[in-house]
Amino acid sequence: MAAKNAEEYIQTHSKWEKELRELHEIMLTTELEPSIKWGAPVYTIHGKNVLGIGAFQNHYGIWFFNGALLNENTALLVNAQEGKTKALRQIRFEKEDEIKPSALLPYVKEAIQNQKEGKVLKPVKNKKVATPEKLSEAMKKDNELKINFEAMSPGCKREYAEYILEAKKEETQLRRLQKIIPMIKSKKGLNDKYL
């Protein structure tokens, strides 16, 4: 069952209940509006997401939707997925970590100010997809493969291209190419089998 409010979410995480409640109380001292999005507490200003709190198996924390734009308060921030996450930043806590409102509020206030000023990192759209040489060669020999690949969304094309290019050895690239050719011909995305 999805939480309807922050209190319900907090109560479902007994391991971190006390800590989440402390974070929630800190957020309530600001002008942020609490809500639930993606099943977790998210705090907004003028309807725009500023930050959220969450609990995980080994840690709990605060995530800032545009944390990469924080300039003055950065020491506690971490990028959850280096190289993939552009804007999101987290402050992570583990058991026994002390929650200090005086240390956290400057981050929160700067994030609020950035949102009020309209500062956001926009996602890069329509990045040109670099088709791997091995896939290009295969498409020259197989028109059906070429037509179906070109009809795919840029995201699907990128997934296939990265799947081949991530392989370091040529034989692995060739094996991966052979694996994806039937998928492309059947107009499936690389990860459609998991849906």
The pLDDT value given to residue 122: 74
Bridge partners (DSSP) listed for residue 41: 36
Does residue 1 register a pLDDT over 70?
A: no
The pLDDT value given to residue 194: 47
Considering the chain, tell me which residue range(s) the CATH 3.90.1150.200 domain(s) occupy.
Answer: 6-116
Composition of the chain by helix, strand, coil, percent to 5? 45, 15, 40
The pLDDT value given to residue 127: 64
Mean pLDDT of the chain: 88
The 10s digit of each residue's pLDDT in 78-92 is 887 776 778 889 999
Dist CA 31 CA 109 (whole Å): 9
Assign 46 a pLDDT band (cuts: 50, 70, 90): very high
The 10s digit of each residue's pLDDT in 153-183 is 888 888 899 899 888 899 999 999 999 999 9
Asked if 41 contacts 28 with a C-beta cutoff of 8 angstroms, the reply is no
Higher pLDDT, 4 or 27: 27
Dist CA 12 CA 39 (whole Å): 11
The 10s digit of each residue's pLDDT in 110-166 is 999 999 999 887 766 656 778 889 899 999 999 999 999 999 888 888 889 989 988
The class (CATH top level) of 6-116 is alpha beta
